Amino acid sequence: MIKVTLLGDSIRLIGYGPVVAERLSDEFEVWQPEDNCRFAQYTLRGLFDWKGKMTGSSIVHWNNGLWDICELFDDGPFTPLEEYLKQMERVADILLARYETVIFATTTPVTAQNKYNKNEMIYAYNDAVVSMLRKKGVIINDLCSLVSADIDRYICEDNIHLSQDGIELCADAVVRAVRNVAEELSGRKTDAKNTKDSNGAPV
């Protein structure tokens, strides 16, 4: 059974994460922290503590962004873009070194009423980090575009978290991404097996 790890902030923790785990439970072993993975740097630190629980994972699905982009004091986001990219690169490099496939979910948008997170910045951070991660071979799951199609429907009354419709939408996308990767991994193993003779030697 393929093991999957889900990492991410509260969009994962109280959003799509529990639904994805339930939907994949018959086909996959799914592990995710009970902790909110918060900032990119918090996730980086968490990779040390979670390493044991993540052992054996073939697929890691991961998101970070809303905490980094948040601006509470009118002096810029908590994590400036350059620093965000550095931290995200460190997380990506660790994940790619340890696990077969890494999927990054883009940061979801907020409503126009949100005082502390702005979509203009969310889109800019997404563009920058996606460009960097793609070059490393990270698969992109563009949750941002899905939710942006109808923000008022997919974001709830607190102006940042997913509504029930948003949870279903994102859970569908995550499940689809994981299954697509799993099929690819199974295909690779089958191909590798077929290139060896009965003694295990390459043919």
| 45-73 mean pLDDT | 98
Each domain of the chain, given as residue ranges in start order, spans 2-194
pLDDT in tens, 108-147: 999 999 999 999 999 999 999 999 999 999 999 999 999 9
Is the pTM higher than 0.85?
A: yes
| 154-175 mean pLDDT | 98
Smallest CA-to-CA distance from 162 within 179, 148, 141 is with 148
Is residue 192's pLDDT more than 90? no
Identify the CATH number of the domain defined by range 2-194: 3.40.50.1110
Whether the CB-CB separation of 79 and 64 falls below 8 Å is answered with: no
Give 3-state DSSP helix, strand, coil % of the chain, rounded to 5.
55, 15, 30
| 40-50 mean pLDDT | 98
- Cα dihedral value 104, 14, 10, 25, nearest 10: -30
Per-residue confidence (pLDDT) for residue 55, from 0 to 100? 98
How far does Cα 103 stand from its chain's mean position?
A: 6
Is residue 16's pLDDT more than 80? yes
Per-residue exposure over 118-134, b if at least 16 CB sit within 10 Å of its own CB, e if not = bbebbbebbeebbebbe
